[in-house]
């Protein structure tokens, strides 16, 4: 029987569908790299998320491997070039959770602009403060989207009712301007946007893209949203930008280091300082993890693999 190793939590429907198609499913949602390496020799397929490295060494051990399925977007943890040289199909499923990411980004932005989270914390302490908690309306603002793939496009669609100006920059796309989205440059977004939302994959070009130089280039004190990858933003330099009022606030669903138990004293100090800022919202990499996306990612994976 054909074997598939599932290395992450998945909707039960995906397991059921694979079994219906004749696969033996080995479900190890917390499996470590070393354990996986010992099991892959007879696997035809591997299903992963953003946790394990599927590197050349592991692929070499998987003698029967035909495909690697990534639930979600971003293939930086998979050696796609090496896998494809060996005839292994690699697919991701950003279509399955792009709407979830867009909604989460919008939700965090509205929370920041209307001071919802910080006001809630004040009430928990018995403080009822109105005047200092006046919100800022999104309507009429300029929103810059960096990276117009599945999630960036989903975020743009959700902005339509707010009557905003949407500027979008994507290094690998052109000619996408329409009645709602204006094609822009990276520099123009930094100079004119009231909100900047990052929707880029993690590559050598985007790693630490939001650094001191980036924050120094901002002209309008924008809100910054990152629902892409943590290493796109240098966290301690973001903290400096918040403290210098170079940005109006930050909404982060991802961090440079998401293993909080491994933090150094310096990393922990930076994170705690950000968490204490009233204009910072941080969530634990859940933007693309809605109930609906949990189901849809598996469905999209099966459709793409044509199993």
Q: Dihedral angle at the C-alpha atoms of 35, 77, 47, 65, nearest 10 degrees?
A: -80
> How far apart are the C-alpha atoms of 116 and 106, rounded to whole Å?
13
C-alpha distance across the termini of the chain, in Å = 14
Strand ordering across the sheet containing 89-92: 23-27, 2-6, 45-48, 67-70, 89-92
229 annotated active-site = yes
Cβ(287)–Cβ(227) under 8 Å?
Answer: yes
Residues 201 and 76: beta-carbon distance below 8 Å: yes
Asked whether the beta carbons of 54 and 75 are under 8 A apart, the reply is no
Catalytic residue among 11, 51, 53, 285: 285
Distance CA 289, CA 122 (A): 29
**258 included as an active-site residue:** yes
* Alpha-carbon torsion (117, 121, 126, 128), positive or negative: negative
Catalytic residue (one of 187, 258, 292, 303) = 258
Taking alpha carbons only, the member of 203, 160, 156, 196 closest to residue 176 is 156
Q: From the candidates 229, 256, 266, 267, give the one annotated as an active-site residue.
A: 229
* Residues annotated as catalytic (active site), given as ranges: 229, 258, 285
């Amino acid at each position: 029987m054909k074997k598939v190793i599932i290395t992450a939590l998945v909707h039960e429907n995906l397991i059921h569908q694979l079994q219906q198609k004749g696969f033996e499913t080995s479900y190890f949602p917390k499996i470590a790299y070393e354990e996986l390496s010992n099991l892959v020799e007879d696997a035809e397929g591997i299903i992963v998320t953003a946790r394990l490295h599927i590197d050349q060494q592991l692929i070499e051990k998987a003698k029967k491997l035909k495909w690697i399925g990534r639930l979600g977007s971003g293939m930086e943890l998979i050696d796609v070039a090496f896998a494809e040289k060996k005839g292994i199909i690699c697919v991701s499923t950003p279509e399955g959770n792009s709407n979830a990411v867009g909604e989460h980004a919008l939700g965090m932005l509205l929370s920041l602009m209307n001071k919802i989270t910080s006001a809630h914390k004040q009430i928990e302490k018995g403080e009822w403060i109105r005047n200092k908690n006046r919100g800022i309306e999104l309507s009429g603002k300029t929103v810059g989207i960096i990276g117009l793939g599945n999630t960036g496009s989903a975020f743009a669609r959700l902005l339509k009712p707010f009557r905003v100006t949407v500027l979008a920059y994507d290094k690998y796309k052109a000619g996408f301007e329409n009645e709602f989205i204006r094609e822009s440059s990276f520099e123009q977004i930094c100079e004119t946007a009231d909100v900047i939302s990052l929707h880029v994959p993690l590559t050598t070009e985007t790693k630490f893209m939001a650094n001191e130089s980036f924050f120094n280039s901002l002209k309008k004190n924008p809100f910054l949203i990152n629902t892409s990858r943590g290493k796109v933003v240098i966290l301690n330099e973001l903290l400096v930008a918040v403290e210098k009022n170079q940005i109006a606030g930050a909404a982060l669903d991802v961090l440079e280091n998401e293993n909080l138990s491994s933090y150094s004293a310096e990393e922990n100090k930076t994170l705690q300082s950000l968490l204490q800022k009233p204009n910072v919202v941080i969530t634990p990499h859940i933007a693309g993890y809605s109930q609906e996306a949990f189901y849809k990612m598996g469905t999209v994976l099966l459709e793409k693999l044509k199993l």
